[in-house]
Amino acid sequence: MGIESMFQVNASGLKAQMMRIEVHSSNIANINSTRTPEGGPYRRKEVVFQAKPVNQGFAETLRNATGNVSTGVEVTEVIEDPSAFRRKFDPNHPDAGPDGYVLFPNIDVVSEMVDLQEASRSYEANISAIVSIKNMIARTFEIGRR
């Protein structure tokens, strides 16, 4: 019945949301990073999600006329937020520019926390779906058992 493919959809969801959590955690951790190995302050990063079909297996697709409906998700890229850096006047700061301003990352902690919460919630929803499938499969084996 293409049982493995049933888990793959939500497994891809787990993976994608986990990457999203990592990226936003990274943003929060670097909220005051005025310098990076590449030079300049840390730039806020975001994940880009895209729907991706999951192969349901030949037998399942033949079984009824609905075709392959399983759609997972993947992170296609991690992009950098192009918005402007925060400017703070502090001529004594080691990373201060010639005008005395220091450039800080373009990260708003509240916005990052909201993203983290959303990602967490979506992650848990995917877990619920997997547990539900697992229970259904377990119950299938109990047909006819006394």
Contacts with 93 (C-beta within 8 Å, 6 or more apart), sequence order: 34, 102
Say how many residues make up the chain.
146
CB of 84 to other proteins, least distance (A): 22
CB of 62 to other proteins, least distance (A): 8
Contact 108, 86 (CB under 8 A): no
Q: Which is nearer to other proteins, 96 or 130 (CB)?
A: 130
Dihedral (Cα; 18, 24, 29, 34), 10-degree rounding: 140
Query: Coil, strand, or helix at residue 64?
Result: coil
**If binding is defined by CB under 8 A, does position 126 make contact with other proteins?**
yes
Please report, in angstroms and rounded to a whole number, the separation of the first and last CA atoms in the chain. 25
CB of 63 to other proteins, least distance (A): 6
CA distances from 31 to 14, 37, 143 (A): 26, 16, 56
Interface residue with other proteins, options 30, 50, 84, 91 (CB under 8 A): 50
CB of 30 to other proteins, least distance (A): 22
Q: Which of residues 51-110 bind other proteins (CB under 8 A)?
A: 51, 56, 62-67, 69-73
Look up tokens 């019945």; give the residue. 1
Return residues touching other proteins (CB under 8 A): 1, 6, 9-10, 12-13, 16-17, 20, 49-51, 56, 62-67, 69-73, 118-119, 121-122, 125-126, 128-129, 132-133, 135-136, 139-140, 142-146
